[in-house]
Amino acid sequence: MSDRRSERRRWLAAHLRREKARLALGATAMSMRAAVLLLLPWPLKFIVDNVIFRKPLGSWAAAVLPDPAMHRLLLLHALGAAMLGLGLLDAGLAYLGNRWLLDAAQRIGYSIRREFFAHLQRLSLGFHRNHLSGELASRLGGDVNALQDFVAAVGVDLLPHLLTISGILAVMLAMNWHYGLMTLAVAPVLVWIARHFAAEIKAAARRTRKAEGEQSGATQEVLSNVQLVQAFAREDHEDRRFEERASTVLAAALRSNHLQAAFAPAMNLAIAVATGVIAWYGATLVIRGALTPGDLLVFLAYLRAIATPARQIAKAGRVFGRAAVALERIEEYRAVVPSIADAPDALVPAHCAGRVELDGVSFGYAADAPVVRDVSFELQRGRTVALVGATGSGKSTIAGLVARFNDPDFGQVRLDGRDLRQLSLRYLRSRIALVPQDPLLFHAPVWANIAYGRDGATRRDAIEAAIAAGVDDVISSLPGGYDLVVGERGSTLSGGQRQCIAVARAMLSEAAVVILDEPSSSVDGVTEQRLMRALRRLAQDRAALLIAHRLATVVDADLILVLDRGRIVQRGTHERLLADGGLYAESWRANGLPGAPAPLRLVAAS
Ligand SMILES: Nc1ncnc2c1ncn2[C@@H]1O[C@H](COP(=O)(O)OP(=O)(O)O)[C@@H](O)[C@H]1O
Ligand SMILES: [Mg+2]
């Protein structure tokens, strides 16, 4: 626990160090400003004591001004000029200090956000499946903002005000020590109040941010699945769910506000009582002649000067609470180590032959629930291996193991004889093109979605890839063709159109291995023919793993693997498997799916 806390502090400190020049300049300006605030009441003291009450100047001043009576007017002018100068200095320093510190805070927020985004992006799919993207976005947004506010608040509010207060107390002690001590007695009361509230404010901030994050996650999920909501007319239901979550946020935020509302008056009350007592006692000192009226003026001005920073510090309590919670929340995900990551000595081979071997591979998403059991096979350049099996038999999981979205629990997956865990992920993923069952697209033009397959690919490259894949006419027939801007996650295209784009994207990549996950599952016969042609082109000089639901698509494969509940139960060419009988032959005769209880499709062979 304390390890985590010191780790959090170290991490924040590292980010602060990047802005150390600005922070140092800002802190210096703010400290100088504190000194100016300290000097601010002094000209007034001399005006009262030496100009109005005509008290003779001290020996040091007498040396400069030999006849104070004659030069009283001069002294008044000088003091007036000093007040003006201090005022200007205060304004200038406040401007510079604020600017430097706010700039630094903004830049620190920027660098934290960049680092955190880079980290979140690289966490494994397993992590992302278990966390709502809106919740992650909320940590990236709101929580980083809270840290940024904290940096600004420490520099702009806390530092100068603490300095002002300590300076004021020091001067008070020097002027009249027991009077100063009396004033100092307020400090423990203030500290006690602040500590009492700080813990509660932090707890409330934690609840608020948690509720806000959850709400943001759930809201984004509903909005991105809005078609589902509308299709089942569940808008009212979602209204209620939103209301429930929003009221949780409201309750947590209100509690936080109430604490904040009580905190400032509690501080103010303590300060007001102290001011009264101190003013009263100061006046008795002046009457007894132990203090000049000018001294009392300085004391009272200081008391007023203390009240403002004390209130600011109280306000900073909320910012601090929020920042502490934000730091915890960011650290919680920052501490997640990507389960799939490069080894320190990850290899980047110069050449990729495209030979993939699975050797006794077993894998399960949860412990003790294997989804893939003892699977072995080999892919080679120029050859197509087909994987068939019922829905849920583990086909897509095997595809994910080849692209190393998961590591096997037992056995090995190798590329060109090397365990995938030895290879750089960047290398591996650029050599393996996966056309997933449900291809994902960005909200961008079609050509840009194709060009995404290779770093630096141009619009022309994208079109050439589509032509090479034989899907050019499908894309050209879209309104706007290659320049059509696709809806979020490809929502404005049909499944088949999305697959055509994904195939072109795979064609563009430098992959030596292509994996096509059920390319014909959501397309009509004509598009299927076209896709199959595209796949054959794609597979020509690459190793291809073709996952299929419909047996008609795998007839030409060099090797067919029949998967049943994660296990390969049969392997061979189409003819061999038909001759052997068993699951494949039965399913083929039924025109259905291997392992399916009842054949659903009546698509004839060939
Ligand atoms: N991310 C996941 N987390 C947990 N279980 C999963 C996940 N993905 C798939 N599964 C489960 O693993 C099994 C195999 O799924 P999958 O490989 O997608 O089958 P197929 O592609 O053959 O239809 C299914 O029972 C499915 O529910
Ligand atoms: Mg699948």
Ligand 1 atom nearest 125 alpha carbon? 1
Q: Identify the pLDDT of residue 66.
A: 60
Ligand 1 atom nearest 517 alpha carbon? 21
Ligand 1 atom nearest 394 alpha carbon? 17
Please name the residue whose Cα sits nearest to atom 6 of ligand 1.
Answer: 365
Q: What percent of the chain has pLDDT over 70?
A: 93
520 — pLDDT class (breaks 50, 70, 90)? low
Distance 412 CA to ligand 2 centre (A): 21
Question: How far does CA 464 lie from the centroid of its chain?
Answer: 37
Q: Identify the pLDDT of residue 591.
A: 61
**Choice from 340, 396, 434, 518 to test ligand 1 binding pocket (greatest atom count within 8 A of CB):** 396
Distance 545 CA to ligand 2 centre (A): 13
Closest CA to 591 of 580, 577, 605, 578: 605
Average pLDDT over residues 522-544: 79
Closest CA to 384 of 496, 510, 579, 516: 516
- Collapsing DSSP to helix, strand or coil, 221 comes out as helix
Please name the residue whose Cα sits nearest to atom 24 of ligand 1.
Answer: 392
- Best mean pLDDT range from 152-166, 265-279, 342-356: 342-356
Please enumerate in sequence order all residues whose Cβ is within 8 A of that of 62, keeping only pairs 6 or more positions apart, or say none. 56, 68
- Whether the CB of 396 sits within 6 Å of ligand 1: yes
344: exposed, middle or buried (Cβ count in 10 Å: 0-12, 13-18, 19+): exposed
Helical residues (DSSP H) of 139-176, grouped into ranges: 144-153, 159-175
Sign of CA dihedral 393, 397, 402, 407: negative
265 — pLDDT class (breaks 50, 70, 90)? confident
Average pLDDT over residues 32-36: 89
Nearest-angstrom CA–CA distance, 321 and 252? 14
603 — pLDDT class (breaks 50, 70, 90)? very low
604 — pLDDT class (breaks 50, 70, 90)? very low
CA of 127, nearest ligand number:
1
At residue 593, does pLDDT exceed 50? no
Please name the residue whose Cα sits nearest to atom 13 of ligand 1.
Answer: 392
Ligand 1 atom nearest 365 alpha carbon? 4
The H helix count followed by the E strand count for the chain is: 23, 10
Conformational region of residue 152, where left means phi above 0, alpha means psi within -120 to 50, and beta covers everything else: alpha
Strand order in 513-517's β-sheet? 432-435, 513-517, 543-548, 384-389, 559-564, 567-572
Specify the higher pLDDT residue, 127 or 169: 127
- Whether the CB of 371 sits within 6 Å of ligand 1: yes
CA of 388, nearest ligand number:
1
Q: Identify the pLDDT of residue 44.
A: 85
Q: Which of 162-171, 298-307, 560-569 has the lowest mean pLDDT?
A: 298-307
Nearest-angstrom CA–CA distance, 277 and 271? 10
CA of 397, nearest ligand number:
1
Distance 517 CA to ligand 2 centre (A): 7
Q: Per-residue pLDDT tens for 336-371?
A: 888 888 889 989 999 999 999 999 999 999 888 999
Distance 436 CA to ligand 2 centre (A): 8
At residue 307, does pLDDT exceed 80? no
**Choice from 128, 362, 365, 521 to test ligand 1 binding pocket (greatest atom count within 8 A of CB):** 365
Sign of CA dihedral 366, 368, 371, 374: positive
Written as six digits, the tokens of 442 are: 């960005």
| Residue pair 513/379 in contact by the 8 Å Cβ criterion | yes
pTM attached to this predicted model: 0.76
Q: How many CB atoms lie within 10 A of CB 427?
A: 16
**Choice from 361, 363, 371, 516 to test ligand 1 binding pocket (greatest atom count within 8 A of CB):** 371
Nearest-angstrom CA–CA distance, 398 and 498? 22
Produce one character per residue of 103-140: b if its CB has 16 or more CB atoms within 10 Å, e if not: bbbebbbeebbebbeebbeebbeebeeebbebbbbbbb
Ligand 1 atom nearest 126 alpha carbon? 1
- Whether the CB of 389 sits within 6 Å of ligand 1: yes
Written as six digits, the tokens of 158 are: 């806390």
Q: Identify the pLDDT of residue 567.
A: 94
Written as six digits, the tokens of 420 are: 């995938």
At residue 595, does pLDDT exceed 50? no
Nearest-angstrom CA–CA distance, 538 and 243? 51
Distance 394 CA to ligand 1 centre (A): 6
Q: Identify the pLDDT of residue 521.
A: 64
At residue 276, does pLDDT exceed 80? yes
Walk me through the domains of the chain, giving residue ranges and CATH numbers. Answer: 12-334 (1.20.1560.10), 356-589 (3.40.50.300)
CA of 596, nearest ligand number:
1
The residues with which 358 forms a beta bridge, in sequence order, are 377, 413
578 — pLDDT class (breaks 50, 70, 90)? confident
- Collapsing DSSP to helix, strand or coil, 487 comes out as coil
Sequential DSSP letters for 385-412 = EEEEE-TTSSHHHHHHHHTTSS--SEEE
CA of 521, nearest ligand number:
2
Q: For all residues of the chain together, what is the average pLDDT?
A: 85
CA of 125, nearest ligand number:
1
Distance 109 CA to ligand 1 centre (A): 39
Backbone angles phi, psi at 49, to 5 degrees: -70, -50
Ligand 1 atom nearest 393 alpha carbon? 22
- Whether the CB of 391 sits within 6 Å of ligand 1: yes
Written as six digits, the tokens of 414 are: 């190798």
Ligand 1 atom nearest 389 alpha carbon? 22
- Best mean pLDDT range from 114-128, 295-309, 477-491: 114-128
Ligand 1 atom nearest 366 alpha carbon? 4
Distance 392 CA to ligand 1 centre (A): 6
CA of 394, nearest ligand number:
1
Q: Identify the pLDDT of residue 522.
A: 64
Please enumerate in sequence order all residues whose Cβ is within 8 A of that of 494, keeping only pairs 6 or more positions apart, or say none. 522
Distance 561 CA to ligand 2 centre (A): 15
Please name the residue whose Cα sits nearest to atom 9 of ligand 1.
Answer: 397
Average pLDDT over residues 460-478: 90
Nearest-angstrom CA–CA distance, 50 and 351? 90
Please name the residue whose Cα sits nearest to atom 5 of ligand 1.
Answer: 365
| Residue pair 22/101 in contact by the 8 Å Cβ criterion | yes
Q: Identify the pLDDT of residue 263.
A: 82
Please name the residue whose Cα sits nearest to atom 10 of ligand 1.
Answer: 365
Distance 393 CA to ligand 2 centre (A): 8
Specify the higher pLDDT residue, 60 or 106: 106
| Residue pair 127/335 in contact by the 8 Å Cβ criterion | no
- Whether the CB of 129 sits within 6 Å of ligand 1: yes
Nearest-angstrom CA–CA distance, 432 and 102? 46
Distance 500 CA to ligand 1 centre (A): 24
Distance 591 CA to ligand 2 centre (A): 19
Q: Which of 365-379, 386-400, 434-448, 574-588 has the lowest mean pLDDT?
A: 574-588
At residue 596, does pLDDT exceed 60? no
Please name the residue whose Cα sits nearest to atom 25 of ligand 1.
Answer: 392
Q: Identify the pLDDT of residue 144.
A: 92
Distance 30 CA to ligand 1 centre (A): 59
**Choice from 375, 397, 546 to test ligand 1 binding pocket (greatest atom count within 8 A of CB):** 397
Q: Per-residue pLDDT tens for 199-247?
A: 788 888 888 888 888 888 888 888 888 888 888 888 999 999 999 999 9
Distance 398 CA to ligand 1 centre (A): 10
